Structure 1
Amino acid sequence: MPGTLPLAVPRARILIVDDQDSKRLGLAAALEPLGQEVVMVASGREALRHLLTGEFAVILLDVQMPDMDGFETARLIRSRRQTETTPIIFVTAHDRAEADMLGGYTLGAVDFIYSPVRSEVLRAKVNVFVELHLKTLTVQAHERRLRELESRQAQHELAKLWGAIAQSADPVMITNRDGVIEYVNSAFERVTGYAAEEALGQTPALLNAGRQDAVFFEGLWRTLLGGEVFRGEFINRRKDGGEYHEEKTITPIRDEAGRITHFVATSQDVTYRKQMEAQLHALNASLEARVRERTAELEDVNSELEAYAYSISHDLRTPLRHIGSFADLLARSSGERLGDPGQRYLRIIQDGAVKMEALIDGLLDFARTGRSELRPQTIELPRLVQEIIAELPGADAATWEVRDLGTVCGDLLGVRQVLTNLLTNALKYAHPARTPHIELWTEAGEHEQTVHVRDNGLGFDMTYGHRLFAVFQRLHTEAPGHGVGLAIVKRIVTRHGGRIWAESVEGEGSTFSFSLPGGPPSPPGE
């Protein structure tokens, strides 16, 4: 009709509240296919400021935030009349789910999303509230538009409005103030199985499956008669007796005097989604059981390996010590009568026994690094490095350049062993033609701290660098050692969730670097 302005198709606003940039951007990327307006903020206070200026279909709220956590933010949101019914979905870690759910539902959470977030699950949950919000906005916009139309154009617009509602893919039901059904659309008939003539004049109790108690309905009517929008989940019964899950938004409609005259209920059948969630919960429970079984199996294997290691220690050491002891007795009692060849053979036996015992010790040390429990703490590197250097044999013969050392987070004994082994190697593989010069410094990254140890020693050929951190692998045989120290270093760093690498120029020196997870500590007062 000429002169008629079409209603604009609204876009729902989704508010993401998380103090971590990566998580905000990840959530926003997952929601992008919905085609709605996504607003991202980094704190609860920013979220409250945005809520003062506009309406949001749903809020994704991180539980763990500094300054003002998700629960405190939700409490303030619920305290405002304009936002007390805005759906809140808490985002929390799996290992905190049970504790967070109790507090979250107390504050009116409608759902939880667990990290790491699955994009399809997130979109499915958010889309429910987006669609309900958009339907509510559409109905409200039409209701306001109807009050303004006073001419034949108004009748035409009214016809279009009813056509849109009638042809909506989701059920729409309109009741009077007393709850008597005055209108249902075709989607209502399709979902419930009741024809319009069977539903008109009835109340929504027609669909009641008896799964909601009296307290639920008392809260529903208290909300609606107070003039507020009610959002909730219903378990209803179809005409054929089958139950189905329904997400419903019920909006009070007021007349020009502000009196509530009708209620408009828009809903969505979410039975399939609930079935998928039930299957997902069952799968998670199955996976958790498998993890527990696997953990028990690994504990059994570790116990067996520990017993095997001690068995090796005892069973190999005893004959080895016999060899060494009898070789020493032979040297003392008959060494002069053996002659030069015999004495040389005897020394080879003695040296081999000593080397074999050292290899057994190294193997046991390597095995122990995988069993000890890590106790992370903040470590002051300058003090630790000074203590290690003071205890190193031959440290006085080297020059040391220690700069820009900060703090790292890790197990104190483990980090001490890593630094001790690296500094010991720097002294052990010094170049015979020059004074050892050893440098230490750290670099602070966004998600890790890196420690560097550089020397001017023998260096090594990078072609064989892949063998550097393997057990019993040595690139230099002129210095004492058995090829276990760097393997232990790698295992300790890996257990911390870090990484280790080396760069070298043969004959000029090497730089060993290892990184531990966790960004630089926050300055005091933050």
Structure 2
Amino acid sequence: MVSQVVGHEQLMALIDHTSAVIYMRDADGHYLLVNREYERLFNLRREDIVGLTDHDLFPGPIADEFRANDLAAIDCGIPLQMEEKAPAEDGMHTYVTVKFPLHDEDGRAYAICGISTDITERKRAEEEVRRLNDELELRVRQRTAELEASTKELDAFAYSVSHDLRAPLRSLEGFSQVLLEDYAGDLAEEAQGYLHRIRANATRMTQMVDDLLELSRASRSQLRREHTDLSALAREVVAELAACEPGRPVTAEIPDGLTTSGDRNLIRSVLHNLLGNAWKFTARTDQPVIAVGVRRERGIDVFEIRDNGAGFDMNYADRMFDPFQRLHRASEFEGTGIGLAIVHRIVTRHGGWITAEGVPGRGATFRFTLTPEIQ
């Protein structure tokens, strides 16, 4: 008898010192036992609870749910886990509850035990996260709609600028040409020089408009990733460059098997600008060589384009990818200074990076990736 009393006291001490709500009801739903946490939570004394049912303590719908869960655990015969809600001073609380039946020697369930853990704070935190996510999603949709509207406006503006600028530029170039062809005999040599400069600058302005439009497209066009044969693209670009200067011998070293994943049209623009620069800046080199290659670094392919042309001063390398920045005088090498800005935009949109190294008179090397770097 003493051992039974001690055992009962030890059991009560155990369940009274846990933070979970523990209780036992008979098969008809009358309370047999509750722990101190139950008393504290519902502000009731255990001696006042024993013999009562949930319908005596809670509103009908809540008591009905408790009873239904009790009967489900009895019918199942094994522990069941569910979520239950009960009122508290600060509102409804949510509990994760495990209920299991107790059986007599004949296997009949004579009682149901429950262990409930308050997860209200977790639920409230989850709800707050859900609310914030919904709010963020709404803000993203709104921002996306604003950006789409801005993009349409920019496209319309770019088209308008292109259309409105091209017409007067064509007039400048055309009328200058007419003056040179039809009235050259009436014009002094100095006047003819002015007209040549007008034509050259109109042509340069037209090219700048074209380059700005390409820069705009490189920034906003939809990115479509696909398996791309970079070797084949590089050979196409070099062939086009050679066709424009058929009498110029340039050695182009392009190995087979250079492939990547990216937008084929945008990657072609990268190669067109980088190889075009290499072609241009080797114009005064006795034996010009342009080489395309790749090496593996940190799990990604780093492509490079090298030449042995004019090169550049590394003190100015940090600005060469900005629009309209030129490291050589226009009298030495023509250009608008937008090509490398286009390359930088495209590479960045692919999640990659680009760097440049050069030595004046000894060539330049551009290295770039088209996939994010593995951390």
TM-score interval (norm. to shorter): 0.7 to 0.9
Measured in 1, the distance between the counterparts of 2:355 and 2:16 equals 67
Following TM superposition, by how much is the alpha carbon of 1:465 offset from its aligned partner in structure 2, in angstroms?
1.0
Quote the residue 1:401 is aligned against: 253
Measured in 2, the distance between the counterparts of 1:313 and 1:233 equals 65
Cα contact 1:409–1:518 (8 A) shared by 2? no
Q: Structure 1 residues 414 and 172 mapped into 2: Cα distance closer, same or farther (>3 Å)?
A: same
Q: How does 1:219-230 map to 2 (within 5 A)?
A: 221-223=71-73, 225-230=75-80
**How many pairs align?**
368
Measured in 2, the distance between the counterparts of 1:466 and 1:342 equals 41
The answer to which structure, 1 or 2, has the higher relative contact order (CA under 8 A, 6+ apart) is 2
Quote the residue 1:184 is aligned against: 34
Q: 1:498 aligns with which of 346, 352, 366?
A: 352
Q: Structure 1 residues 311 and 492 mapped into 2: Cα distance closer, same or farther (>3 Å)?
A: same
Q: Structure 1 residues 377 and 519 mapped into 2: Cα distance closer, same or farther (>3 Å)?
A: farther
SS in 2 for 1:249: strand
Cα contact 2:227–2:260 (8 A) shared by 1? yes
Q: How does 1:247-286 map to 2 (within 5 A)?
A: 247-252=96-101, 262-286=111-135
Quote the residue 2:184 is aligned against: 335
The answer to whether structure 1 residue 199 and structure 2 residue 53 are counterparts is no
Cα contact 1:445–1:519 (8 A) shared by 2? no
Calculate the TM-score normalised by the size of structure 1: 0.62
Following TM superposition, by how much is the alpha carbon of 1:474 offset from its aligned partner in structure 2, in angstroms?
1.2
Deviations 1:392-427 (A, max 9, x none): 325983333334744322111111211222122122
Q: How does 1:355-370 map to 2 (within 5 A)?
A: 355-370=204-219
Following TM superposition, by how much is the alpha carbon of 1:335 offset from its aligned partner in structure 2, in angstroms?
1.8
Q: Structure 1 residues 211 and 325 mapped into 2: Cα distance closer, same or farther (>3 Å)?
A: farther
Measured in 2, the distance between the counterparts of 1:224 and 1:451 equals 69
Deviations 1:137-185 (A, max 9, x none): xxxxxxxxxxxxx985x86565344213102223222334554432211
Quote the residue 2:364 is aligned against: 510
Q: Structure 1 residues 158 and 389 mapped into 2: Cα distance closer, same or farther (>3 Å)?
A: farther
Q: Structure 1 residues 339 and 387 mapped into 2: Cα distance closer, same or farther (>3 Å)?
A: closer
Following TM superposition, by how much is the alpha carbon of 1:429 offset from its aligned partner in structure 2, in angstroms?
1.3
SS in 2 for 1:457: coil
Q: Structure 1 residues 437 and 171 mapped into 2: Cα distance closer, same or farther (>3 Å)?
A: same
Calculate the TM-score normalised by the size of structure 2: 0.85
Q: Structure 1 residues 317 and 258 mapped into 2: Cα distance closer, same or farther (>3 Å)?
A: same
Q: Structure 1 residues 289 and 447 mapped into 2: Cα distance closer, same or farther (>3 Å)?
A: farther
Aligned-residue sequence identity (percent) comes to 37
Quote the residue 1:172 is aligned against: 22
Gaps of 5+ in 2: none
Q: Structure 1 residues 317 and 200 mapped into 2: Cα distance closer, same or farther (>3 Å)?
A: same
Cα contact 2:254–2:292 (8 A) shared by 1? yes
Measured in 1, the distance between the counterparts of 2:231 and 2:256 equals 9
The answer to whether structure 1 residue 483 and structure 2 residue 337 are counterparts is yes
SS in 2 for 1:517: coil
Measured in 2, the distance between the counterparts of 1:180 and 1:352 equals 98
Deviations 1:453-481 (A, max 9, x none): 22222221121112111111111232221
Cα contact 2:83–2:95 (8 A) shared by 1? yes
Quote the residue 1:309 is aligned against: 158
SS in 1 for 2:220: coil
Gaps of 5+ in 1: 1-149, 521-526
